[in-house]
Amino acid sequence: MGGGPEVPSKDSDKKELVLCTLPWPEEGARKGIDGLKEEFKDFEVKYYHSEQGKKLDVPEDILARAKYFATLFWLPSSAKALPKTKLIQFFSAGTNHIAQHPIYTDSKIPLCSANGVHGPQIAEWVIMMDLVHSHNFPRLYDLQKEKKWAQKVGMGVSDRVGKRVGILGYGSIGRQVARVAKAMGMDVIAYTASPRKTPESKEDNGYIVPGTGDPNGEFPSAWYSGTAKEDVHEFLKQEIDLLVIAVPLTKTTTHFLSIPEFETLHKSNPRGTYVANIARGQVIDQPALVKALHDGLISGAALDVTDPEPLPADDPLWTAPNVLITPHVSGSTDVYAERAFEVLRENIRRERSGGKLVNEVDRGRGY
């Protein structure tokens, strides 16, 4: 186990306990653990390697002492096991995976997400997929493997300057997509559930990887908002070349995009909208997506999430035209744990000073 003395002592009992149940071996989280202990000298850290699908036993006395709890998916059966816990810091962007858990539904322990740590790597994935599609790289790569020189296949490139990216859900990920897209000469429009009509309302108050994102909400040339279908359709009517789906999964956003939405995109932009989904698979009506791809209502799709996951081998999505699928890996990076520990440290600072927590989940809204 990580942190703290091997033999319990009166001194260790006086220290505040940070409990970590995370999916990396302890050495993989070493920088984050060391940073935590360096900043907070009065802390003891207990680290447990938690692997999904495998049982994890955390002693009851450790749970009872934990003041701060960092986890990805593992939770004790109820909040009674965590009588001293001031906040639970999830190392995931969302908490929909534990939305039915008693700690979520029946307790008042503040829950915080790691929203913000994914922006750089997921934005790179989105732009990479859009360029792969617009430069016809999959076909060119197939030709390389076949040892065929067919220059004509690579001649129909559509570069990104002047094209429009519509970001459905202008959070930390969407803001970094906007930064990269603007650097490429693209126009950016944003969609949020609630109106953002003042400079203050357009600011990003979550965790931001330094030097990234759109902290002040300056990149979009236009903002759209509302949760009614007509509001969403007004956004989709704006001749979008790249549609980035980055909304959280809630009851409202389940099957947010279906045939009427794909038809709206096509009517507005007959040359074809490319759809990138890095949110959750259920945000799209998947059979409708397959039909839209076959019918040419959109130019293609890049999907890092599907419904369900893993995607069954016989699912028709695999063989739909112009689709690229990755197995929910766009958020991966070699500094993920380090960044997530930074969010934890910031929240501990704020909790101790009575400040507003970063990325606290609104249980009523679901994110």
pTM for the model: 0.90
**What's the pLDDT at 262?**
98
**What's the pLDDT at 5?**
43
Range(s) within the chain of domains with CATH label 3.40.50.720? 10-117+333-353, 119-325
Residues whose CB falls within 8 Å of the CB of residue 233, separated by 6 or more in sequence, listed in order: 260, 261, 264
**What's the pLDDT at 96?**
86
| Secondary structure (DSSP) of 88-107 | EEESSS--GGGTTSHHHHH-
**What's the pLDDT at 259?**
98
**What's the pLDDT at 366?**
84
**What's the pLDDT at 3?**
47
**What's the pLDDT at 13?**
61
What does DSSP assign to residue 360?
B
- What's the mean pLDDT in 150-173? 96
**What's the pLDDT at 12?**
55
Q: What is the pLDDT of residues 266-324, one digit of tens each?
A: 999 999 999 999 999 999 999 999 999 999 999 999 999 999 999 999 999 999 999 99
Q: pLDDT category, 194, cuts 50, 70, 90?
A: very high
Q: List phi, psi (to 5°) of 43.
A: -105, 150
Query: Can you tell me whether residue 119 is helix, strand or coil?
Result: helix
Q: Cα–Cα distance between 92 and 80 in angstroms, integer?
A: 23
Range 10-117+333-353 classified under CATH 2.40.10.10: no
- What element of type H or E holds 66? strand 66-71
Percent of all residues in the chain with a pLDDT value above 90, rounded to a whole number: 92
- What's the mean pLDDT in 341-363? 97
Cβ contact 350:110 at 8 Å: no
Q: List phi, psi (to 5°) of 358.
A: -85, 135
Q: What is the pLDDT of residues 235-263, one digit of tens each?
A: 999 999 999 999 998 889 999 999 999 99
Smallest Cα–Cα separation from 252: which of 366, 168, 175?
A: 366
Q: Is the pLDDT of residue 192 over 90?
A: yes
Q: List phi, psi (to 5°) of 100.
A: -100, 5
**What's the pLDDT at 317?**
98
Q: pLDDT category, 367, cuts 50, 70, 90?
A: confident
The number of residues in the chain equals 367
Cβ contact 213:200 at 8 Å: no
Q: Mean of the per-residue pLDDT values for the chain?
A: 95
| Assigned architecture for domain 119-325 | 3-Layer(aba) Sandwich (3.40)
